[in-house]
């Protein structure tokens, strides 16, 4: 126990030196007042579709978990299958919406987003 405490005390300065300013200047690099409306809209759409993609992926994982823990129960197995299919359909819709939004915003603002 004594060796462990001494080791941890020797390790403490190394942990203190491991800090960095990563992310400190993130708010200064947002350029909130200097962006045009196309960049702002595309940023909002990308964040929203990214969140929906995470939700669809979570639905697929939830369906897989239900299916794995069904233990031969036909109703739970079917429920897991339905959740996985709904998640895959949702993910396909999100990916299609992402592609359409990129195309529409690029054609509206005549620039690469």
Instruction: Check: pTM over 0.75? Answer yes or no.
Output: no
Q: Is it the case that residue 87 has pLDDT exceeding 90?
A: yes
User: What DSSP line would sit under 13-66, residue for residue?
Assistant: HHHHTT---TTTTTTTTS-TTT--HHHHHHHHHHHHHHHHHHHHHHHHHHHHHH
Q: Domain spans of the chain?
A: 2-109
Whole-number pLDDT of residue 4: 83
């Amino acid at each position: 126990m004594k060796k462990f405490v001494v080791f941890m005390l020797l390790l403490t300065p190394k942990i203190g030196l491991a800090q960095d300013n990563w992310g400190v200047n993130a708010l200064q690099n947002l350029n909130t007042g200097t962006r045009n409306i196309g960049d702002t809209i595309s940023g909002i759409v990308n964040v929203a579709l990214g969140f929906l993609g995470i939700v669809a992926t979570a639905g697929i994982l939830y369906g897989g978990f239900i299916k794995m823990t069904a233990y031969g129960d036909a109703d739970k197995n079917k429920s897991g299958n339905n959740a996985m299919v709904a998640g895959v359909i949702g993910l396909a819709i999100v990916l299609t919406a992402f592609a359409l939004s990129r195309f529409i915003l690029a054609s509206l603002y005549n620039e690469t987003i």
